[in-house]
Amino acid sequence: MKCYSVYVSIVLFLFVSINIQGAPKKEIPPSATPGPETRVFTDSADRQVELPGKITRIVPSGALAQMFLLAIAPDRICAVSSAYGPDEAEFVPAYFAELPVVGQFYGAANLNPEEIARIGPDVVIDIGEPKDTIVRDMDDIAASIGIPTIHITATLRTTPQAFRTLGQLLDREAQGEALARFCEKTLSAAEGIVNQAGNNKKSVLYCLGKAGLNVLAKGTFHTEVLDWMADNRAVVDNPASRGSGNETNLEQILLWDPEVILFGPGSVYASVAQDPTWKQLGAIQNRAYYEVPLGPYNWMGGPPSINRYLGMLWLGTILYPEYATYDLYTETAEYYRLFYSYALSRERFNRLTVHSLSGGPGPR
């Protein structure tokens, strides 16, 4: 019986061996290609978001984010919130004109989630001051397009840190640090001017609109720089949060009677010296009125983002020349080089500021 068992075992072994060797070999499928390396990023809203290890395609959530990304990683922007006009296109990469326009989440609230999903960026980045609903907003965008969405807080004071965060996130540490240091230097210069001015800040009014009868009222996001560096005379009951400001009238402007008037681009700067009511103002009589420089963005805001650092330098120069120890052209040229990769000549600077430095023509 024992011999029989051994015999059977041998036969079974040979049978199995023959079948294994004779059977056609199955192709072993190659290992699945590893997915892109990912990482978890904690954004400024304290949301933990899984992102690709290397981010190469970004959609900004709006104009403010677009300005930051233009400065630190223009080559990674694959869509824009709004198209650049002919006067703006000079200062941005030529290929921006070919990028799809996807709108923005805040402000105009015309974001096109379907188009963003079609483009398929690695991430949507929102940059600026957070709304109370920021967590829900970011989660809603991400859910609607199926793409990670993050928020990076950037206020006037925290913009340097925002650039450092972006530098780390996008592997652009050197550029992020250079941008941060420029902002810190500018903040320090403006703070020095404000401290020296003390209680003797110039009274100022910022007028805009086709008739110049809209004002940026004190206490809004849009007047943060103006309120800090000057005595903003536009005090109203319900300051508007929109960039077009609050409507007013000439009678009220005469009552405010500021020492200096800033006119928004495209407003009535060129005609006030001939207007019988406007020229009653001391600022017009004393030629203490200026047009806010524009190119590619309004230096005082519109939107109120990193362009306000140029606004600080400009305000310091026109309001407190005795305290502004820097050369405005030198600082502006450095800004354009760092933030736009644009070589700003003295001649181009002069054209940008043609109505912005020496005061308007006297009344006639």
What CATH number does residue 337 fall under? 3.40.50.1980
The answer on 166 and 303 residing in a single domain is no
The answer on 134 and 206 residing in a single domain is no
Q: For the chain, where are the alpha helices, taking DSSP H only?
A: 2-22, 63-72, 86-89, 113-119, 134-145, 159-169, 173-197, 224-229, 250-256, 282-285, 308-319, 328-340, 346-352
Contact indicator for 217, 245 with CB cutoff of 8 Å:
yes
* 98, burial (CB in 10 Å: exposed 0-12, middle 13-18, buried 19+): exposed
What's the confidence (pLDDT) of residue 359? 87
What's the confidence (pLDDT) of residue 86? 85
The answer on 237 and 130 residing in a single domain is no
Residue at 4 is within a domain: no
The answer on 131 and 48 residing in a single domain is yes
List per-block mean pLDDT (blocks of 10 residues) for the chain, which spans 364 residues: 36 34 32 59 96 96 95 97 89 94 83 92 96 94 94 96 98 98 98 97 97 95 95 93 90 97 96 96 97 96 92 98 97 98 97 94 72
Q: Which residues contact 53 (CB under 8 A, 6 or more apart)?
A: 36, 37, 38, 39
The answer on 335 and 250 residing in a single domain is yes
The answer on 200 and 140 residing in a single domain is no
Contact indicator for 128, 64 with CB cutoff of 8 Å:
yes
What's the confidence (pLDDT) of residue 7? 36
The answer on 337 and 202 residing in a single domain is yes
What's the confidence (pLDDT) of residue 36? 58
What's the confidence (pLDDT) of residue 364? 61
**For residue range 202-256, what is the model confidence (pLDDT) as tens digits?**
999 999 999 999 999 999 989 999 999 999 999 999 988 788 899 999 999 999 9
Q: How many domains are contained in the chain? A: 2
DSSP 284: H
Give dist(CA 322, CA 309) in Å, integer. 19
The answer on 299 and 264 residing in a single domain is yes
CA 45 to chain centre: 18
pTM beyond cutoff 0.85:
yes
